[in-house]
Amino acid sequence: MHVRVLGEFAVTRSGVEMTPSAPKLRQVFALLAVEMNRAVRTDQLIEELWEDRPPLSAVTTLQTYIYQLRKLLCWSEAAVGPAAAACDGVALRTTPGGYVLRLPEDALDSVRFERGVSAGREQLAAGRFEQAAGTLRQALELWTGRAFGAVSPGPLLHAQLVRLEEMRKLALDHRIEADLRLGRHIDLIGELTTLVAQQPTHEGFQAKLMLGLYRAGRRAEALQAYQRARTALSDELGLEPSAELRRLHQAMLAADPSLDAPPQVPGTVRPAARHRRPPNQLPMVAGQLLGRERQLDDVCRALAGHGRATPAVALAVGAPGSGKSAFAVHVAHRVRACYPDGVLFAALQRPDGSVVPAAEVLGGFLRALGLSHGREGACPEEAQAAFRAWTAHRRLLVVLDDVVDAQQISALLPGPGSAVVAVGRRMLWHPAVVVTARTGPLGEEACHGMLAGALGADRLAADGDRLGELVTLSGGLPMPLQTAANLLQLRPHWPVAKLLAAASGDVRRIPPAAVGAPGLADSVARSVRLLPGAGQAAFRTVAGAAEPFVSVARAAQLLEVDEAQAELLLEDLVEYQLAEAEDVGGVLRYSVRPPIRGIAASLAAPAAGVPLRRRLPVAPSGDGSAPLELAPTAAGWA
């Protein structure tokens, strides 16, 4: 059994994750886990769950949570005899005044992390720098995100979170110290620059960046780094640099030979090149994936195969807000163990809707892999050749979000042993695609499960009669449903009825819980921007029609074009996942989902005078995908 604390909180047994979905159930489990094999008092658990405002039924509710944990995770009251073998020696026992979770000593990744940090510090103190760097690096690799992930910590878990995060910083500081002692200063500059940008008042990281730059022969930049550190300390804390940082600065001004890099042993390979960590750019998993379990299994099975002569591409495609990006990230986390040479991630569309050139993405990939061809100004063909040569005999996973055409996949395709998970804003065809998952709207059961996971069963029970209206408002799309759940978490005093009244049937009126969080309107706008001007005008017209479904004949009337042109425009909307088509008695009818219909009217209209005509396709493009449309746009002919 394995309990993951240093990232998205999860428990795995026999290869199956069984993490509770209800927030307070996860809190109870997390606190019992980090205090494993030690009794946790009832009053401590109550304080963790409700702080200074426990309900009158707190003890009874806590007992219910303990019962649910035992039932969900198949834990017994006491693990002895045959029960111990069945439960891997795990037991959730009741003690006088509390509970104790019995776990094997190595079940928690946080325990293994602390042991690794302790061993690495001892090796560093003993001058065994190579061993220390390796031990500390392995300990830090256990972290996959923020401690406890999406668990909302109360006062006791928060204290544990702070302790673990401080230990993480200390371990990172010691690991960088060991690498500096080994002469790896050049390879550390990029990492230290990022750390200093994230934590500008951390003087330990500032000092190490200065030293790395100085040893790399970049003395002026090292002195500039000191001035930036001094400014940050003054502006944010009102402090002058520490005595150690000032001494380092003076030593650099005096070109003190004690700052020089340690000599390399002749004839040896530089350790940094030999032990370079595979890149892992994969975003964290956000919550559970509900309603798509079968699709997830199918895609993972297709990508986990070995011995392919060509790279495998899995395509996830769906309407705006359908959760296709989240699906792809879940897939990548599931199969990344099959690709030991790293995971690369890139979004191919910017927040403003503009497309990121494939050459720019490829340059970022090469820099992440440590290849010199990632430098600015490199020839695109040379960069592509270097990328495919590097991946020719390796297994790399590439995740491409917001793919808008098949040429992007071709340009970023790795070698034959690797794989790509692509997220499409439109239907795509590419010869390397081995499986396609369409992320349609979630069923009612999955929607209720998402709300239960975010808000808890107790709160949903009080608003059960209005949940159906909330699901209808979202159209079964995970993004607006999650936005509503996040807002209800932020405002626990709101009943669902108040949220529905504030929305008044329009998902745009549900504000995101955090500034800058993506919304359905933004996602729809980014898909619409990909359409030619004629397609954008057709989308607004069809979405604004009084009837929920339109035939080709009716669309021709609305768009004032002939039926052949109307059908082409409607099929464009289906291809770009902005409309759906269904065959009713041999007649195709087209519709736009209600949440998206409401957004269409708010989008900027295309340039005046743009004709609703679209050029007929004459031949497939070289990679087999549909040709790019030659149609008028606001900027002219594209």
Q: What is the pLDDT of residue 77?
A: 60
Q: What is the mean pLDDT of the chain?
A: 82
Percent of the chain with pLDDT strictly greater than 70: 85
In the structure, what pLDDT confidence band is assigned to residue 621 with cuts at 50, 70 and 90?
Answer: very low
> Which residues are within 8 A (CB) of 227 and not within 5 positions of it... i.e. 6 or more apart?
none
Secondary structure (DSSP) of 566-606:
HHHHHHHHHHTTSSEEEEETTEEEEE--HHHHHHHTTSPPP
> Which residues are within 8 A (CB) of 622 and not within 5 positions of it... i.e. 6 or more apart?
none
* 345 contacts 366 by C-beta, under 8 angstroms: no
In the structure, what pLDDT confidence band is assigned to residue 638 with cuts at 50, 70 and 90?
Answer: very low
The DSSP bridge partners found for residue 315 are: 422, 436
* 387 contacts 366 by C-beta, under 8 angstroms: yes
Q: Note the pLDDT tens digit of each residue in 368-381.
A: 888 754 445 556 77
In eight-state DSSP terms, residue 340 is: T
The DSSP bridge partners found for residue 93 are: 100
CATH code at 532-637: 1.10.10.10
Q: What is the pLDDT of residue 630?
A: 27
Distance CA 103, CA 108 (A): 8
Q: Residue 401, SS3?
A: strand
The burial class, CB within 10 Å (0-12 / 13-18 / 19+), for 506 is: middle
Q: Tell whether the model's pLDDT for residue 607 goes beyond 50.
A: no
Q: Tell whether the model's pLDDT for residue 314 goes beyond 90.
A: yes
* 92 contacts 39 by C-beta, under 8 angstroms: no
Secondary structure (DSSP) of 455-522:
H-HHHHHHTHHHHHHHHHHHTT-HHHHHHHHHHHHH-TT--HHHHHHHHTT-GGGS--SSTT---HHH
In eight-state DSSP terms, residue 108 is: B
Mean pLDDT of 593-604: 81
* 92 contacts 103 by C-beta, under 8 angstroms: no
Distance CA 349, CA 214 (A): 38
Distance CA 62, CA 162 (A): 25
CA 109 to the chain's CA centroid: 21
Give the fold, CATH level 3, of 293-438: Rossmann fold (3.40.50)
* 326 contacts 478 by C-beta, under 8 angstroms: yes
Q: What is the pLDDT of residue 517?
A: 66
Quote the Cα angle for 92-98-100, to 5°. 30
Strands across the sheet containing 2-4: 2-4, 10-13, 16-17
Terminal-residue alpha carbon distance, the chain: 57
* Among candidate residues 276, 315, 520, 491, the one with its CA nearest the CA of residue 403: 315
Q: Note the pLDDT tens digit of each residue in 463-480.
A: 767 888 888 888 889 888
Q: What is the pLDDT of residue 468?
A: 83
Q: β-strand 433-438 against 312-317: which pairing, if any? A: parallel
Q: Tell whether the model's pLDDT for residue 113 goes beyond 50.
A: yes
As a dihedral over the C-alpha atoms of residue 108, residue 286, residue 293, residue 405, rounded to 10 degrees, the angle is: -130
The DSSP bridge partners found for residue 100 are: 93
Distance CA 277, CA 417 (A): 19
Residue scoring higher pLDDT (264 or 440)? 440
If you classify domain 192-277 with CATH, what class do you get?
mainly alpha
Mean pLDDT of 215-242: 89
In the structure, what pLDDT confidence band is assigned to residue 571 with cuts at 50, 70 and 90?
Answer: very high
Q: Residue 453, Cβ neighbours under 10 Å: how many?
A: 20
Q: What is the pLDDT of residue 562?
A: 92
The continuous run of DSSP H or E covering 242 comes out as: none
> Which residues are within 8 A (CB) of 97 and not within 5 positions of it... i.e. 6 or more apart?
39, 41, 42
**What is the crossing angle of helices 478-490 and 444-455, to 10°?**
30
Q: What is the pLDDT of residue 406?
A: 92
CATH code at 1-182: 1.10.10.10
Q: Residue 312, SS3?
A: strand
Distance CA 390, CA 369 (A): 9
Percent of the chain with pLDDT strictly greater than 90: 29
